[in-house]
Amino acid sequence: PQAERMLLWLLLFRFASSEHDDLHQRSIFLKGAPDGVFRVPHSQAKHFAHRDRVSLLDGGDGGENEKCSRGYLGNEEVCALQLLIHVDDGTVQETEKRLLNDLRISSSYLPHNTLVAYVPEAAVDQVSEMPNVLWIGVMKPEWKHETTLKRRLRALGRTPFAELQIQLVANDARSLANSWKSDMMRKVHRIGAIRANAVSISVRKKFAWQFIKLVRSHHAVHWIELRERPRFLNRQASRSVLGSESSHLDGSSIIWGKGIDGTGQKIGIHDTGLDISHCFFSDANVTSTPTSSPSTQSPVSSLSPSPTAMSYTPSPVASITNSPSTSFNPDVLNLREKGKAGTLKLPKAELEYCKECKFTDSFVPSEELALSNLVAMNDTLCNVTLLDELTGGYTYNIYPNNSMVIEVPGSSSMADSIRDFIFRISGNLDGSLNYTSEFLASKFCPNISRVLETWNTSRVESVAWCCSIDPSEKRMLDKFDMLDRAMALALRDNYMSCCPHSESLVNYDFNPSETEECKFDSGACLKPNVNHRKVEAYWAFVDDHDEIDGHGTHVSGSVAGHAAYENSQVNAFKGMAFNAKLVFSDAGNGHEFVFTPPDPSRPMQWAYDMGARIHTNSWGDSRNSYTIETQYFDDVAYRNKDLLVLFAAGNDGSSGYGSLGSQPNAKNVLAVGAAAQPVDYDLSTSATTQLATHHAQLKKTLCNPDAPAWESKGMLTALNSALTGICSSLGQDFSAFSGPEEAVNYYCPLLINNTAINGTSYVEWESWVCSLTTFNFSDISPQAADCRDGIKNLYFLGYADELPIYQACIQRYERNLGVQAAAGVHAERNLATFSSRGPTGDGRIKPDITAPGYYVVSSRSNGPDPAHQCTDARFTETSQPGLLTMAGTSMATPITAGSMALVRQYYVEGFHINGEKFPAKGIASPSSALLKATAVASAVPISGNVRFRDINVNDGNNTCSYDETGDLCPFYQKFALQDESTQRFLGGFGFLYLPHALWFKGDSHRLYVVDSNATLNSGDVFRFKINFPNTTGTHRPLRVVLTWTDPPSSPAASKALVNDLDLKVRCASSPAGLEIVSPHLGNGGSQRDSRNN
């Protein structure tokens, strides 16, 4: 097979090895086979297929295969088999061409030396007689899915469906999907084609295994897997990554100081939405006037200083006053610098949204799916056993090879969830409303059963009831009595809805009228608006805005956010590639799930077509496997060799090794883990930004009787209801607030008094807010607190955006930070405890790199509100804070994406030639492999301790630290003491630090690169030789990095690598080449690496 692209770091030898042992070559790596390997029988080599043709047609060994599959080649009379064709070493390409040219049969590759093909019965003899064919056999049904699939189906929890994806060996997905939907209507729901050879199906969970056994017998079916809906990966950067000049008190980076700032680069993002009214992204740029000049503000940035940078102590920042916020003219930029005032007229380029090929074009509300969900809701609410069934459990892998896996049980049931909401709504603390599960079933079952029974006869009324308990916002449920409201809230939190057009989109099915992939027609979808200052294209796939405190706006700010007024307060947190442009596709509607087209790689291809050459994705699932969708991500990178796709590693580090998602399992993506920042930075900057931002939002609600939440969103009713019960239980008098004004008169003074923030001590209002979070209603005396502090209950009833009580209490954050710092797991370049760990499902090194992700300050969305945000709430009183603190691998990934845009600019502008800008010698279109290799070459060691967990480790009293739950208790080990393979499974090749790789004139190190399109055939060798002058003194270590963009693998393969290239580095004592040490092999092993690319 072909292989392209490589990077040379000082010295590189690259070749395809043919020195494989016989057992290795005679093995086919199949996930569904025992131990992931099928060993080809030697005794039946060469003429197996010819002698045993009848056995082949019977399924090989009398198994469950049909004799053949008819109708999947567009011809009902054609009988075909899915065959594995094992060939001689070095003849894969030759055989592949023979199949295509002589027999018109397409094939795909499985390691090792095996082709998968859908062969008509009449052609079986011809295939077996091909000169290089050693063995052929039928793809057995049990090989078509993972061996653990049945167990994973049992672990699905409350969801009524198993969402399956099926890959075929025939390009007839749409007709096959229609056939299955017709034949299996009672078992199958939501069925449609993803690609020409792939189908997505939702099956009633209790029928799923029966369905799988049925369809796996079809020879056209190649692979079946359980799909998990991806989620956004946040848990609630410049100097560490780019380096800093000690002489630059403002923290200017080494890389930015060379004029590398993202100019000419374009980055694609698929995320919740983008608030283009924020001054980081708006075309008509506005900013507030700083309350103090930049020279007197804290020299903050989105990341901490590197160890060699000058340390600093934050200066006291301006007091937050209760003065009205500045009003802005959106067409005028306010300038006030050094006492001079003026205005600057800006050209305005309106952003036209791409509103074609939207989610609702591919998917439409389905009453069939809604009915199936209604059945599942009825089953749960009418069955005490199911009501009490615990969910939320997980597994913990103690060792990288999965040799010891601990099952941690769930801790919450549906009944528990309902009882918790009853408490939140009523405020009742005396235990009289602690209803039994039997009572809850007797209350809810009759009504929901009636709706189910009348679904067919009174469809309109049944649907209306279903949608009334699943409105667009939780707060709209206050018209129901307490118990029904609690039931509805619990169902919503578990994404159980029988409303066809639920905003959770769980009941949307494939659009039957869309017979082929949607095509773009309009200019906004086909041509970028290059005149817009920051956002050249916006595909409104789900909607055209972000939510309040939205994930997508924060991510985008880390990539390329920048206000045109350079002295804007928020520019202290500008993006890594702050002069780059963005191409954005909208993936969310306020829920935690990520929505993509049927083919999830399409947003990446669209962004590429609009000019983006880097695409970042801060979302994913928890399946550590190379799946059908993983294959698509590899495919889009393989088809576009200059497109670098990044994915967040995930936030499941608490599950131990192998906790990655399926997205970072892709070979060609850059998978990013998260690292911590210095504690002093987190306390002085991240924490105070969080404090000020959420304080402003609390005041916006609790100091304004006209805030929408009070009346139009029902907050006053919800508050009075909760406080009545709480105050009664505590024996305190309470008269319901007569209106928003009375409530504001009570709560607002608590938020205004003593509100100065000085960076070293916390204010009285924050103490009050923190008291709300720890207000344990039933464990206090009547004198211990005012029962009106029970307002915290509203946070759980749909008012979290308006009342960010928990986010505004940074004492909780400090406490957690203190515990982690004391354990040595939180400091600069320490691995974040939540960061998902490798290896991949087939044992490869992922994540590739780590970057700061805990806690990162970036742009804040104000939701669909068109007001311009451009202020740092620590310095300026505002109702529209412009900054937000978030944590997760979601934050580390855009920082890395912006950094890769800088690397790309470095090569395009020719810096690698002589250490200075040299555009005439630049690489016009650097490959993604070159960018990936540069990231790996730049890595510096991760420091500090790393947290592990074990069922047998505790503090001596059989209890865990405060932040741990369940039976798994933490223990800590130095990262540096782990062996090299363990270190790479934990944090990839290290912490991203670009000055370690990029070379500039005057630097002590040197960079050599080869970005090659050369083709290698099996056994070929590329050699590079470099002579080093005799020098003395201390030198940086030699680093050699080889990367290539590998073809997509079959999801059925237990080993994903297709092109198996090797790296050897030999050191010689003289130009004559006398070797003085054994060759150094790729990735530091004693044997060649046959898994990574």
Strands 1080-1081 and 1061-1065: antiparallel
**Are 896 and 935 spatial neighbours (Cβ–Cβ below 8 Å)?**
yes
> And the tokens for 282?
């708006």
- Residue 499's contacts (CB-CB under 8 Å, 6 or more residues apart) are 370, 463, 466, 467, 469, 470, 507
Residues 618 and 233 sit within 8 Å (Cβ to Cβ) = yes
Cα–Cα dist 484/556, whole Å = 40
Extended strands (E) in 161-278? 161-168, 188-195, 198-204, 221-226, 231-232, 266-271
Which class for 761: exposed (0-12), middle (13-18), buried (19 or more C-beta within 10 A)?
A: exposed
pLDDT at site 141 = 94
Question: Which region holds residue 451: left if phi is over 0, alpha if psi is between -120 and 50, else beta?
Answer: alpha
Backbone torsion region of residue 824, taken as left when φ is above 0, otherwise alpha when ψ lies between -120 and 50, otherwise beta: left
Amino acid 669: pLDDT: 98
The Cα 129–Cα 209 span in angstroms is 38
| Predicted local confidence at residue 869, as pLDDT | 86
What is the structure's pLDDT at 380? 93
pLDDT on residue 239: 54
- Contact between 576 and 614 (Cβ < 8 Å): no
From residue 107, alpha-carbon distances to 74, 82, 96, 100, 115 in Å are 18, 10, 7, 8, 6
Q: 549: phi > 0 → left, psi -120 to 50 → alpha, else beta; which?
A: left
SS3 of 961, please?
A: coil
User: Which segments of 316-380 are extended strands (E)?
Assistant: 332-337, 340-345, 363-365
Place of tokens 């900054």: 883
Look up residue 712 and give its two tokens: 């139009």
C-alpha–C-alpha distance, residues 497 and 462, integer Å:
12
Residue the block writes with tokens 């800008």: 917
Amino acid identity for residue 242 in this structure: L
Amino acid at 916: E
β-bridge mates for residue 226, sequence order: 164
Q: Which of 194, 1001, 863, 88 is nearest to 549 (CA)?
A: 863
Q: Report residue 1005: phi and psi, to 5°.
A: -105, 175
Closest CA to 594 of 672, 532, 542, 637: 542
Interhelix angle 414-426/715-730, rounded to 10 degrees, is 90
pLDDT number for residue 288 = 38
What is the SS3 assignment for 951? coil
Helix residue ranges, H only, 132-183: 149-154, 173-183
Distance of alpha carbon 453 from alpha carbon 449, whole angstroms: 6
Percent of the chain beyond pLDDT 90? 47
Rounded CA separation 826/808 (Å)? 21
d(CA 298, CA 278): 22
- Phi then psi dihedrals of residue 445, to 5 deg: -60, -45
Ramachandran sector of residue 348 (left: φ over 0; alpha: ψ -120 to 50; beta: rest): beta
Q: Alpha helices, DSSP H only, in 140-172?
A: 149-154
Which helix (H) or strand (E) segment is 742 a member of? helix 740-752
Length of the chain: 1093
Q: Where are the alpha helices (DSSP H) in 469-550?
A: 482-493, 523-526
User: What would the two tokens of residue 155 be?
Assistant: 């672990």
CA gap 479, 500 in Å, rounded:
21
In contact, 370 and 491? CB cutoff 8 Å = no
For 50-113, where are the E strands, in sequence order?
69-70, 79-87, 107-110
* pLDDT at residue 814 in the model: 81
Q: Which helix (H) or strand (E) holds 590?
A: none
Q: What is the pLDDT of residue 963?
A: 46
- Are the beta carbons of 688 and 759 closer than 8 angstroms? yes
Cα 327 from Cα 556, distance rounded (Å) = 25
Q: In this predicted structure, what is the pLDDT of residue 177?
A: 76
**Cα 319 from Cα 340, distance rounded (Å):** 23
Contact 206, 379 (CB under 8 A): no
In angstroms, rounded to a whole number, what is the distance separating the alpha carbons of residues 306 and 244?
A: 7
CB atoms within 10 A of CB 154: 10
Question: Are the C-beta atoms of 690 and 885 separated by less than 8 Å?
Answer: yes
H, E, C per residue of 870-923 = CCCCCCCCCCCCCEEEECCHHHHHHHHHHHHHHHHHHHHCCHHHHCCCCHHHCC
CA distance 440 to 989: 53
Averaged pLDDT, groups of 10, the chain, 1093 residues long: 36 38 70 92 51 41 50 53 92 92 93 93 90 92 93 80 90 78 68 87 86 89 92 64 47 81 97 94 57 31 26 22 27 28 46 93 89 91 93 80 76 91 80 85 95 94 94 79 92 90 87 80 94 96 93 97 89 95 94 90 98 97 95 97 97 92 97 93 88 91 90 83 86 91 92 53 72 65 69 88 89 80 86 94 96 94 86 84 93 97 98 95 96 96 85 52 53 87 94 94 89 83 75 70 95 95 81 65 82 93
CA-to-CA distance for 230 and 651, rounded, in angstroms?
12
Task: Map residue 981 onto helix, strand or coil.
Answer: helix
